[in-house]
Structure 1
Amino acid sequence: MGILSWFLPNGRVSFHHAGKSVILKRKPQKKGSGVDESKCISLADLCKSATPADCQLNPFLFNGHLQTAWTLMRTDDIPVYYKRWRFEGDSPDYRGSFEVDFVVPPYDVNKTSSSLTSAQSDNGTFESSTPPDSTHPSPRTSFFTKEEFSALPSDDKKPMLVVLHGLSGGSHEPYLRNIVDPLHKQGWEVCVVNFRGCANSKVTSSILYNARATWDVRQTVRWLRKNFPSRPLFGIGFSLGANILTNLTGIAKDMGGIADIF
């Protein structure tokens, strides 16, 4: 093939997963629908059945580095709106705060006090305070008011996705919004756990993050389980975030309360 293979690159898709995959229950199917009517399927087989065997690659984006860089060069925007809450670490071993962004319907950010102006003070009370960094606010993001956050708990059964971004990223990253936007439009609830100091969050202690830093996401999952007891929780991680989720599955017998991790 030679030069022709460069102009028409064809990638083979391969799957890497644990020998024993999670078993999922299928939704009931109508008779004659042509869909496999067996009651269960493994997560690995589900991914294989939904993924084409081949992919046609762009000849100018022939490796992962170029593909990542291209996401920053594209001019199209994906408007995802967030409301943020600052959690205080509940363990004396991991003192400090971290911030979680919840995807919400579009709103006029200009009508809020200012993008990322804090409705919370550093000690968790709700007082007027200085934005973490008013010169570099995250787009379409503002803090919850006390009343808004108090109204969040629900008994609904919507699926909820917990997202972990990559190294030094945040909820504003294009790769993350590409995943979040269509899911939210389909009725999913979504929250992004920002690593300490990322996404314009304030660093309040010497405890930061690394690939083994599962403490903030575990606290978030506990909070979600308490306030949304009927919601099935799912997790997805990108790059470093995927490493943290992998470590979470290794140290938490119940996977931190998350139904499935991708």
Structure 2
Amino acid sequence: MEWFGRAAIDFTTSPKSLCLQGKDGEETNLLKICQSAVPPCQLNPLLFNGHAQTMWTAAKAHGPPLRYKRRIFEADHAEFNGSFAVDFAVTDPAQKEEADESLPPRTAYFSETELEAMGSDDERPMLVVLHGLSGGSHEVYLRHAIAPLIDSGKWEACVVISRGCANSKITTGLLYNARATWDVRQTVKWLKKTYPNRPLFGLGFSLGACIMTNYLGEEGSATPLKAAVVVANPWALHISSKMLQSTLIGHHVYQRVLGNSMRALAMKHKDELEKYTNIDTTNLFSQKFLYEFDRAYQCPTWGYPTEEAYYRDASSSDSLLAVRIPLLAINAVDDPIASNLSIPYAEASTNPFTVLCTTSLGGHLGWFEIGGGRWHGKPVCNFLNHMAFEIDLNSINSEANGKRTSGNPMYGTNFDPIRRKMYVKLNQ
């Protein structure tokens, strides 16, 4: 029962949750860990529904003042080539006043000397973070979630910047989309090689949560990540898009705001788009709504016939079935952008590696508490700290649920949850 901002919390998972073992030898399971990691959700009663919680995110709250150093990577994928940026959280007091005016606040590029010195044999857990649509490492919702980990002095973290976002430059005509998992895959491989003893963990927000889930599904038990959290995942993008278009506020507020942010992002890269693509930029920059932008950009660039085909192909609800590391997924039922109708309750109930936590209030990346705090940071930090410091990560059995495919052998049918309709050649 909701009363004065007190949200109801529900958990959905397999009847037999993933068995895990603590470093003290005690047996436990993923559901118990998630239930202990998720505190009561007491939100600001003045922000009484999903719209109020979501719209309040536009308030210019400062948030924790994290600082970053940026490294530029050249993509190792033959088809999805070009460059992308990764921002690494830094805590060195000598770097507090250093910043680059061409980058988001409190961010600077690594020097050549610093780049050459990257790498260590330490065993500190490291978090790989994916931000939301047109965002970056500077986003307030992101900093609220990871600042307690960084400030504890026990964690390292980096944010993979989606191509073209957060003042990053593109060197081809490709901006990011929800289907593009290659940059996070390359980053994880690089981290595993550069910091071989660090256990790696994942965290994704909104569209970044969709990308993170798709990556985890594609990799299965092969991913170097030990556990992950995804927050406000839109899951079935075609459903969320249709829900937004079906209401006055969804169409003329959310679709327009999201469309404006993507149009502004594309305009920053006008020269590259005109140099490397055949896109009509005049038409592209005239689009008002997100689905119109996706039709004008994502379809011709990636080869999708319609934006709906792109949404279906990039959705991550099926990918959830193929996840083979402990995953906590957090959604608000009243989220007006990541619609409750898109949340994969049935899929979560079949996979012991996943626990879906839903709150009755919170909006989209809102969860504002009295005083301005953000509730979602608490379960994120609690879960990650528990997995990193209290669980024997070697106890995770990636074959606990068998193969990721299913079917009916009698009739020769087979279902692969991460099969994609868009074909991308493998690296040579």
Q: TM-score range with shorter-chain normalisation?
A: 0.7 to 0.9
CA shift at 1:17, angstroms?
A: 4.1
Corresponding residue of 1:42: 29
Corresponding residue of 1:245: 212
For residues 108 and 55 of structure 1, do their structure 2 counterparts lie closer, same or farther at Cα, with a shift above 3 Å needed?
A: closer
Contact 1:84 1:141 (8 Å CA) reproduced: yes
Output aligned runs, 1:199-218, within 5 Å: 199-218=166-185
> Which whole-Å CA distance do the structure 1 matches of 2:138 and 2:36 have between them?
31
Corresponding residue of 2:22: 26
Output aligned runs, 1:1-262, within 5 Å: 8-17=4-13, 21-28=17-24, 39-52=26-39, 54-73=40-59, 75-105=61-91, 106-108=93-95, 112=98, 115=100, 134=102, 137-186=103-152, 187-254=154-221, 256-262=223-229
Matched pairs, number: 227
Residues 81-107 of structure 1 show CA distances to partners (whole Å, capped at 9, x for unaligned) of 100001010011111111000000144
CA shift at 1:241, angstroms?
A: 0.8
For residues 244 and 87 of structure 1, do their structure 2 counterparts lie closer, same or farther at Cα, with a shift above 3 Å needed?
A: same
Residues 166-207 of structure 1 show CA distances to partners (whole Å, capped at 9, x for unaligned) of 111100000101112110122100000010001110011122
> Which whole-Å CA distance do the structure 2 matches of 1:144 and 1:17 have between them?
42
CA shift at 1:243, angstroms?
A: 0.6
> Which whole-Å CA distance do the structure 1 matches of 2:77 and 2:46 have between them?
48
> Which whole-Å CA distance do the structure 2 matches of 1:22 and 1:185 have between them?
31
CA shift at 1:47, angstroms?
A: 1.0
CA shift at 1:234, angstroms?
A: 0.3
SS at match of 1:16: strand
For residues 167 and 17 of structure 1, do their structure 2 counterparts lie closer, same or farther at Cα, with a shift above 3 Å needed?
A: farther
Normalization by structure 1: what TM-score?
Answer: 0.79
Greater relative contact order, per chain length (Cα 8 Å cut-off, separation 6+) = 2
For residues 151 and 25 of structure 1, do their structure 2 counterparts lie closer, same or farther at Cα, with a shift above 3 Å needed?
A: farther
Extract unaligned runs of 5+ from structure 2: 230-428
SS at match of 1:99: strand
> Which whole-Å CA distance do the structure 1 matches of 2:73 and 2:90 have between them?
18
Calculate the aligned-residue CA RMSD, in Å: 2.2
CA shift at 1:108, angstroms?
A: 4.5
Extract unaligned runs of 5+ from structure 1: 29-37, 117-133
Q: Answer 1 or 2: which has greater helix percent.
A: 2
> Which whole-Å CA distance do the structure 2 matches of 1:19 and 1:248 have between them?
25
> Which whole-Å CA distance do the structure 1 matches of 2:15 and 2:86 have between them?
33
> Which whole-Å CA distance do the structure 2 matches of 1:171 and 1:65 have between them?
24
For residues 253 and 9 of structure 1, do their structure 2 counterparts lie closer, same or farther at Cα, with a shift above 3 Å needed?
A: closer
> Which whole-Å CA distance do the structure 1 matches of 2:158 and 2:70 have between them?
9
Contact 2:178 2:208 (8 Å CA) reproduced: yes
CA shift at 1:209, angstroms?
A: 1.7
Letter in 2 for 1:87: F
> Which whole-Å CA distance do the structure 2 matches of 1:109 and 1:9 have between them?
37
For residues 79 and 192 of structure 1, do their structure 2 counterparts lie closer, same or farther at Cα, with a shift above 3 Å needed?
A: same
Contact 1:235 1:261 (8 Å CA) reproduced: yes
SS at match of 1:247: helix
CA shift at 1:22, angstroms?
A: 4.6
CA shift at 1:76, angstroms?
A: 4.1
Normalization by structure 2: what TM-score?
Answer: 0.50
